[in-house]
Amino acid sequence: MLEKGFILGASHDGIVYYRKNKNEYGLEIEQKSAEWLEIVQRALEKAYSKKSRIRKTKKGYYRLNVYSKSLYIELLKFRTTPKLILEQPEDFQKGFLQGIFDAEGSIRKERSHITVSSNQEDIIEVVKNIMERYGFKLGKPWKDKNNVISIPLYGKESMKLFSDLINFRHPEKLSRLKLFAE
């Protein structure tokens, strides 16, 4: 269940789509880090027994594609009704946090904080709910001019707790967190 939750969270860095003209259901994630996409690829294989493909785009990014109607249906269910995540087992929720923080999180050295951002208020509410159950003290959410809502975690104690309980899988974010959590 951890890997399924992770895929759901990570999918927020991509698109879940149906192309009617090709009768094609899929998930596509584009990223600078091929290494992170390989982590997502292994999680897809483990959780769904689905093969995916990673290729380099003309713009120098990497793109993961996986075609699956069942994966499409499951991801769409959670993405359209995020509160369903709260009904899942704890390891699914933990995987979701790992994936969403990898996809939509950032870590800032200068302010010693981690944030997760989304333009979907209900996703932010689910993240906030799970994080508070883990004992995190979250900063006040804020909305930027593009209606993207961010939730901050401040301080070394929060970073240490995040490292111990959730952690990043994204290689760059993981290495930055290790510098603070020590």
pLDDT given at position 175: 87
Rounded Cα–Cα distance for residues 59 and 96 (Å): 29
> In which residue are the tokens 């993981």 written?
174
Q: Clarify whether residues 92 and 164 are in a common domain.
A: yes
Give every strand in the sheet of 142-143, ordered side by side.
Answer: 105-108, 113-118, 149-154, 142-143
| Residue 111, pLDDT score | 66
Q: Kindly state whether residues 95 and 62 are assigned to the same domain.
A: no
Find the domain containing 128 and state its range: 83-181
Give the tens place of pLDDT for each residue, 102-138.
Answer: 999 998 776 678 999 999 999 999 999 999 999 888 9
Mean pLDDT (the chain) is 92
Residue ranges of the chain with per-residue pLDDT less than 50 = none
Number of C-beta neighbours around residue 120 at 10 A: 15
- The sign of the dihedral angle between the CA atoms of 93, 142, 159, 116 is positive
Whether residue 16 is found in the same domain as residue 72: yes
Per-residue pLDDT at 180: 67
User: What CATH number is associated with residue 13?
Assistant: 3.10.28.10
